[in-house]
Amino acid sequence: MALIQVQSVSRNVATSDGELQILSELSFSIDRGEVVAVVGASGSGKSTLLSLLAGLDLPTTGQVVIDNVNLNDLDEEQRAILRGEKIGFIFQSFLLIQSLTALENVMLPAELAGRPNPEKEARELLAKVGLSERLTHYPNQLSGGEQQRVAIARAFIGQPQILFADEPTGNLDSKTGERVEALLFELNREFNTTLVVVTHDDKLAQRCDRILRLDAGQLVEQQHVA
């Protein structure tokens, strides 16, 4: 049974020159536990697709169904709750809250969801990503690689069913990028999460089960990686 179903999804935005179609008539599905890469040139609509899959935005037409729930039927609040329960995020620019320490950043989603013992969980995860020594550091006291490891720990704390990663290594040098990548796939296997990675990086895409290629808002290729 597919965990994510995308049915005839289009997204238009209004510009000064009239309506601009960013995504047109996309349809595909992603199974539970599958690891999928979304690739394409800049402006091909990758980030917009990610925002629709995560319920950060709604499609102009068509629908996104996650775990049998049609996102179009939920309001902003209900989508937030759904994200809190089922979805984790990793961003290119890490997006840690600057005024919270590494530990507090990781605890945050668990606290927002009201789960017990967020601190214990967060410490374990930070140990897994190798940052036990950095618990009380603020984001700007950490290197880029360390910040992204904090973000990975934060993404896994709710044991989400789905993890969306937007160019997770895009801001890192290749060596650090590789280490972060390895960590991401390792944890993904351990928690058996469905992973959707938006990336430019072909090498990263090749590590996934399947590659969805976008071009000018259209799904032009679906490739299963051997």
Partner 1 sequence: MWPKISWRLLKHELRRGELTIMAAAVALAVTAVLSLSVFSERLQLGLLDRSSEFLAADRVLRARGAEIPTDWLDRAEQENVAWARRVTFNSMAFTNGEMTLVDVKSVSDGYPLRGHLEVASAPYMDGDRIDSLPQAGEVWVQGSLFQALALDIGSVLEIGDAEFTVTHVLSHQPDSGFNVFADSPTVLIHIDELERTGLIQPGSRVNYNYLFAGDPSDIQRYETWLLPQLDDVTQRWTSIQDGDSPLSAALNRAERFMLLASLLGVVLAATAVAVAAQRYAQRNFDAVAIMKTLGGRTPQITRIFTLHLLLLTGVSIVLGLILGNVLQYGVIWWVSEQLGYALPSGGSGPYVLAVATGLLCALMFSLYPLLRLLKIPPLRVLRRDIVAQGLGKWLHWLIAGSTIFLLMVIYSGSLMLSVALFAGGVVAMLLLLAISRLFIRASRSAGMQAGSSWRLAMAGLQRRAAQNSMQMLSFSIAIMLFLLVLALRNELLDDWQNQLPEDAPNYFVVNVAPHQVAPMQEMFAAESIQATELYPIVPGRLVAINGTMVRDAVTKEERDESEFREGFGRELQLTWQADLPAENRILQGEWFSPGKAGVSVESQVAERINVRVGDELTFRVAADEFTVPITNIREVDWNTMQPNFYMVFSPDLLEGMPATYIASFHLPPERRVELYRLFRDFPQASLIDVEDILTQIRDVIGHVSLAITFVMVLVIFAGALVLVAQVQASLDERRQELVILRTLGARSSLLSRAVSYEFVVLGALAGLIATIAMEVAVYALQTQVFNMQPTFHWRFWLLGPSVGAVIVAALGWSVCYRLLQHQTGALIRRLQ
Work out the widest C-alpha separation in the chain, in whole angstroms: 53
Name which position in 111, 186, 190, 221 contacts partner 1 (CB under 8 A): 111
Residues 6+ away with beta carbon under 8 Å from 148 = 90, 94, 168, 169, 171, 172, 176, 180
Name which position in 12, 21, 124, 144 contacts partner 1 (CB under 8 A): 144
Question: C-alpha distances in angstroms, 192 versus 1, 25, 174, 187, 189?
Answer: 16, 30, 26, 8, 5
Among 9, 54, 43, 58, smallest CA distance to 164 is for: 54
Query: Is 100 one of the binding residues for partner 1 (CB under 8 A)?
Result: yes
Query: Is 176 one of the binding residues for partner 1 (CB under 8 A)?
Result: no
Name which position in 3, 22, 44, 89 contacts partner 1 (CB under 8 A): 89
List the structure tokens of 80. 């937030």
Return the number of the residue (97 or 127) whose C-beta is nearest partner 1: 97
Identify the residue whose tokens are 């072909």: 202
Query: Is 175 one of the binding residues for partner 1 (CB under 8 A)?
Result: no
Q: Which residues, 192 to 221, sit near partner 1 by CB under 8 A? A: none
Q: Give the binding site for partner 1 (CB under 8 A).
A: 47, 50-51, 54, 56-57, 76-77, 80-85, 87, 89, 91, 93-101, 104, 108-109, 111-114, 118, 138, 140, 144, 154, 158, 166, 171
